[in-house]
């Protein structure tokens, strides 16, 4: 019998256990993959204290940007050396296939952390404004200084890359950080913590406390010594974080839910659009916040497009996640599995037609674990629950539209505004249409193209603030203005506006 590995949490450079454990289940077969020490309020308090002590000591915060950049570059290089280990723990915790985990979950994480390492050395922490001449001669200097202790609460779907979107800018700016990873998928973050400290990140700068949101997460958000919280997850939890963070007026970045539309125009390359729409929706079983789960198709193309979608989607292969031939893996958990199936049934009850999938795939290998077939629903209208709620499963809703104005109206008729996609052979037309969409990212003739140099975030209830981009360190710094008088004598000052009489 194979021994189940155990992981301690990371506090002040030490692996800590509490005597209580989180069970990490493999979504492929619901087997026990690992045990992780469970943290709660007390461990969050310890981690924040360690982070604050490390920050105040200057062991990291006072290092030069170039030095911080060098350490971070070493971390990215070490991640690349250990990519197989990181891929393995990612797969067994969140059900990603080996191709997806290698190319996206871990591969992009390494690329993006390398980008943050570069930013650490190039970011303008200090800028001098042109000298002012009125009312006196002086110089203003704008400084961007680290906040202090930052908190991060990360999701289960991309536990490594989406948490590095928070860790990278935070430590690049000189902060310390406490991370509360999702209790189902903390393994890759704990492996990253080991790598970071091996490469010279001082103890206490990065602390990782797996635990439940109701205690560990809530305490991190409310802690008075945490100056900023970054969260990726559901809009519902994002609202709670905003309310809690307001008690201490801490800064928040929220990357929340989405119901991204893919608009197929009547001049689209249909072969490209079909493959692109399926990639946009089905990749990682639709468990991505910016998945294109609503495809809007002109009435004139509707039947043909649906026929092409179904034919192509039938080629998607489900199977063991460690098989390089497997295209699609399982849903993350039993709870989410049931929710997806319930929403499919609700869609059918509301009048949608299941033209592909809709249930658990056949075969002995799918009897255990949390499997859902690639599912396509047609005759969906935008008032149906499946068109309005984030399903987080491999479920594509196909909607009709008559003209571009109606397509824009349907696309924007959502509480979300994270991303959108346009499929067209006319670039000018697509660019013009992109201006009408209420979304933080609009892809034209592609999907899931996340460039670390481009800001990422959403309109409306898809979030607050932006991650990635050349200015991502702004979210982890305070702005200070320093004024230096250059006039040199009393007579040149405007003090006579108040003190107009000589001393008697």
- Which active-site residues does the annotation give? 255
3-class SS shares of the chain: helix, strand, coil, % to 5: 40, 20, 40
Q: Are 278 and 316 in contact (CB under 8 A)?
A: yes
Report DSSP state, residue 208: E
| Contact residues for 265 (Cβ-Cβ < 8 A; gap 6+) | 298, 404, 422, 423, 424, 426, 429, 430, 433
Q: Which residues contact 264 (CB under 8 A, 6 or more apart)?
A: 273, 277, 295, 296, 297, 298, 301, 305, 423
CA dist., res. 258 & res. 441, Å (int): 11
> In this structure, are residues 482 and 175 in contact, taking their beta carbons and an 8 Å threshold?
no
Distance of alpha carbon 350 from alpha carbon 32, whole angstroms? 38
Beta strands in 184-339 (DSSP E): 206-208, 228-232, 251-255, 261-264, 294-298
Residue 452 to residue 469: CA distance in whole angstroms: 6
What is the C-alpha R_g of the chain? 25
- CA 222, distance to chain mean position in Å, is 21
Phi, psi of 342 (to 5 degrees): -65, -40
d(CA 366, CA 101): 20
């Amino acid at each position: 019998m194979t021994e189940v590995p155990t992981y301690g949490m990371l506090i002040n450079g030490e692996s800590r256990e509490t005597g209580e454990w989180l069970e990490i289940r493999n979504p492929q077969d619901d087997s026990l993959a690992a045990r992780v020490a469970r943290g709660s309020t007390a461990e969050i308090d310890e981690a924040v204290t360690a982070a604050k002590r490390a920050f105040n000591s200057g062991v990291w915060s006072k290092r030069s940007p170039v030095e911080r950049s060098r350490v971070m570059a070493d971390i990215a290089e070490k991640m690349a050396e250990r990519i197989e280990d990181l891929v393995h723990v990612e797969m067994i915790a969140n059900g990603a296939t080996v191709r997806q985990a290698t190319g996206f979950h871990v591969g992009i994480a390494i690329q993006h952390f390398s980008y943050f390492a570069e930013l650490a050395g190039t970011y303008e922490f200090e800028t001098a404004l042109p000298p002012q001449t009125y009312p006196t001669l002086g110089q203003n200097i704008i400084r961007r200084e680290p906040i202090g202790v930052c908190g991060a609460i990360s999701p289960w779907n991309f536990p490594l890359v989406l948490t590095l979107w928070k860790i990278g800018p935070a430590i690049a700016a000189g902060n310390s950080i406490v991370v509360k990873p999702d209790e189902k998928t903390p393994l890759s973050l704990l492996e990253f913590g080991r790598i970071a400290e091996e490469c010279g990140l001082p103890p206490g700068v990065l602390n990782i406390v797996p635990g439940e949101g109701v205690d560990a997460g809530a305490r991190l958000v409310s802690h008075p010594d945490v100056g900023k919280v970054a969260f990726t997850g559901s809009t519902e939890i994002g609202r709670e974080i905003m309310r809690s963070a307001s008690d201490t007026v801490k800064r928040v970045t929220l990357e929340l839910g989405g119901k991204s539309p893919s608009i197929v125009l009547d001049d689209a390359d249909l072969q490209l659009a079909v493959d692109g729409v399926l990639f946009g929706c089905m990749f990682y079983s639709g468990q991505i916040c910016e998945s294109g789960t609503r495809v809007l198709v002109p009435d004139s193309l509707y039947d043909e497009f649906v026929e092409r979608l179904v034919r192509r989607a039938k080629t998607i292969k489900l199977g063991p996640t460690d098989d390089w031939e497997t295209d699609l893996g399982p849903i993350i958990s039993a709870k989410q599995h049931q929710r997806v199936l319930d929403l499919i049934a609700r869609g059918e009850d509301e009048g949608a037609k299941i033209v592909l999938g809709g249930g658990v795939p056949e075969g002995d290998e799918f009897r255990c674990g949390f499997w859902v077939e690639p599912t396509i629903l047609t005759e969906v209208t935008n008032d149906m629950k499946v068109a309005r709620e984030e399903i987080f499963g491999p479920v594509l809703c196909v909607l009709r539209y008559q003209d571009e104005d109606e397509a824009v109206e349907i696309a924007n008729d959502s509480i979300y505004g994270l991303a959108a996609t346009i499929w067209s052979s006319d670039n000018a037309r697509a660019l013009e249409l992109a201006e009408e969409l209420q979304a933080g990212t609009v892809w034209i003739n592609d999907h899931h193209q996340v460039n670390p140099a481009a800001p990422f975030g959403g309109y409306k209830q898809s979030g607050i603030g932006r991650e990635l981009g050349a200015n991502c360190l702004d979210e982890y710094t305070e702005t200070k203005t320093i004024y230096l008088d250059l006039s040199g004598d009393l007579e040149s000052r405007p003090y006579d506006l108040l003190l107009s009489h000589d001393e008697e």
